[in-house]
């Protein structure tokens, strides 16, 4: 089975990990900072905080915004559970705004429509690697004093062009307070598990860094003072817990893999773009099939290749039977049992996301895919239409 996504590991990656295993520090060493610097430098952000996964990054970022019970955090229904769950972890209410019908990213007009006085943060998700309309989102968030956290789990390396013609890189946080990344193995760059928060705001950076490690700080500038004397405050053993944090740390082993992968990010992204373009070129004109679009103002580092297909479930089974590990994502988050039970959501609440999900089909896309593999995927898709209704009918 050709999977829909998988990591590309070379001997350099293996060597980097082995070096850490042979070193003194498996965690809390220098590799974590080095990874943070590599990613912050690549994306153009001032600060980076590496954490154990993208979900932890979202949780920490939401807490750093002060999201709490009584607040609302808004996100897309077309995302992985983590984007919405992170809001609920803080005790706040996840609220959804429907997506745009062509990019499948959150629709800025819907954000405006769904915004209430309780709204405190918006988490736009750069779905499949295509950037959201950050200029519009940032404008309305600023007008209402909302925090913006970009969920860029799919989109490291993506760029967009503002209306004034300036190109912006996802993660540079020009139009957000923070950007969150994931380094899960299906993502563009992996550290096994891993995540990162990027920001240009020093106060948010410090808050995230504390939350990553139990709410602890050893920085005298952050001390609030405790029952200890001023002499004791100067002792090397002294630290303070100033907020309720977690152990969301990334290890040096994982960071070494991440650093090594970052050296090949350019090649990973161009190969993804190449395969995406090949699919788009060869799959055009099939009946009932809509190809993904790349807006003229967008330069996506594609994470997913998503078709919309009238006979999705039939084609899905047909491809799986032929070794093509296609996927369908995302099941709209508001239709999950917990979300329905907790917030009373039902079918029809977000019609664009629901319609999108009923037709979406994700084809395999990862840098280690050979031309032969992408050719196999293309032939299998075309085969479905060439085989005609009779054989398709037999699949049900």
Ligand X SMILES: Cc1ncc(COP(=O)(O)O)c(C=O)c1O
* Positions that interact with ligand X (CB under 6 A): 53-55, 79-80, 82-83, 125, 151, 153-154, 182, 184, 195
Which of 194/385 has CB closer to ligand X?
194
Measured from the CB of residue 329, what is the shortest distance to ligand X in angstroms? 8
Which of 79/199 has CB closer to ligand X?
79
Measured from the CB of residue 232, what is the shortest distance to ligand X in angstroms? 39
Measured from the CB of residue 285, what is the shortest distance to ligand X in angstroms? 31
Measured from the CB of residue 98, what is the shortest distance to ligand X in angstroms? 17
Q: Which of 369, 141, 134 is nearest to 273 (CA)?
A: 369
Measured from the CB of residue 8, what is the shortest distance to ligand X in angstroms? 17
Which of 148/283 has CB closer to ligand X?
148
Task: List, in sequence order, every residue forming a beta bridge with 75; answer none if it has no partner.
Answer: 96, 123
Rounded CA gap, 356 and 307, in Å? 10
Which of 154/345 has CB closer to ligand X?
154
Measured from the CB of residue 58, what is the shortest distance to ligand X in angstroms? 6
Which of 20/61 has CB closer to ligand X?
61
Pairing of strands 240-241, 289-290: unpaired
CB atoms within 10 A of CB 163: 8
Which of 170/315 has CB closer to ligand X?
170
For ligand X, the nearest residue by Cβ is 54
Burial class (CB in 10 A: 0-12, 13-18, 19+), 320: middle
């Amino acid at each position: 089975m050709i999977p829909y996504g998988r990591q590309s590991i070379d001997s350099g990656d293996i060597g980097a990990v082995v070096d850490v295993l042979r070193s003194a520090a498996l965690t809390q060493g220098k590799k974590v900072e080095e990874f943070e610097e590599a990613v912050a430098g690549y994306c153009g952000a001032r600060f980076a905080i590496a954490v154990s996964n993208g979900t932890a990054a979202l949780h920490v970022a939401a807490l750093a915004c002060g999201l709490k019970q009584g607040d609302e955090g808004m996100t897309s229904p077309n995302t992985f559970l983590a984007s919405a769950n992170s809001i609920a972890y803080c005790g706040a209410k996840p609220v959804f705004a429907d997506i745009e019908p062509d990019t499948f990213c959150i629709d800025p007009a819907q954000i405006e429509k769904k915004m209430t006085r309780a709204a405190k943060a918006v988490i736009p998700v750069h779905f499949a690697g295509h950037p959201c309309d950050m200029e519009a989102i940032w404008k309305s968030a600023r007008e209402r004093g909302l925090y913006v956290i970009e969920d860029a789990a799919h989109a490291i390396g993506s760029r967009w062009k503002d209306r004034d013609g300036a190109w912006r890189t996802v993660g540079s946080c020009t139009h957000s307070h923070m950007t969150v990344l994931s380094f899960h193995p299906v993502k563009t760059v992996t550290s096994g598990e891993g995540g990162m928060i990027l920001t240009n705001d020093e106060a948010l950076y410090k808050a995230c860094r504390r939350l990553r490690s139990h709410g602890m700080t050893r920085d005298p500038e952050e001390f609030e003072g405790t029952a200890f004397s001023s002499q004791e405050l100067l002792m090397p053993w002294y630290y303070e817990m100033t907020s309720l944090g977690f152990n969301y740390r990334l290890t040096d082993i994982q960071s070494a893999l991440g650093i090594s992968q970052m050296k090949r990010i350019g090649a990973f992204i161009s190969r993804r773009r190449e395969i995406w373009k090949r699919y788009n070129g060869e799959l055009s004109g099939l009946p009932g099939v809509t190809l993904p679009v790349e807006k003229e103002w967008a330069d996506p580092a594609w994470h997913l290749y998503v078709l919309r297909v009238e006979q999705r479930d039939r084609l899905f089974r047909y491809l799986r039977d032929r070794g093509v590990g296609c996927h369908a994502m995302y099941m709209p988050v508001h239709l999950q049992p917990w979300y329905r039970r907790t917030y009373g959501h039902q079918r029809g609440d977000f019609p664009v996301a629901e319609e999108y999900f009923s037709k979406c089909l994700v084809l395999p896309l990862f840098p280690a895919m050979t031309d032969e593999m992408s050719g196999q995927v293309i032939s299998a898709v075309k085969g479905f239409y060439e085989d005609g209704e009779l054989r398709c009918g037999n699949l049900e």
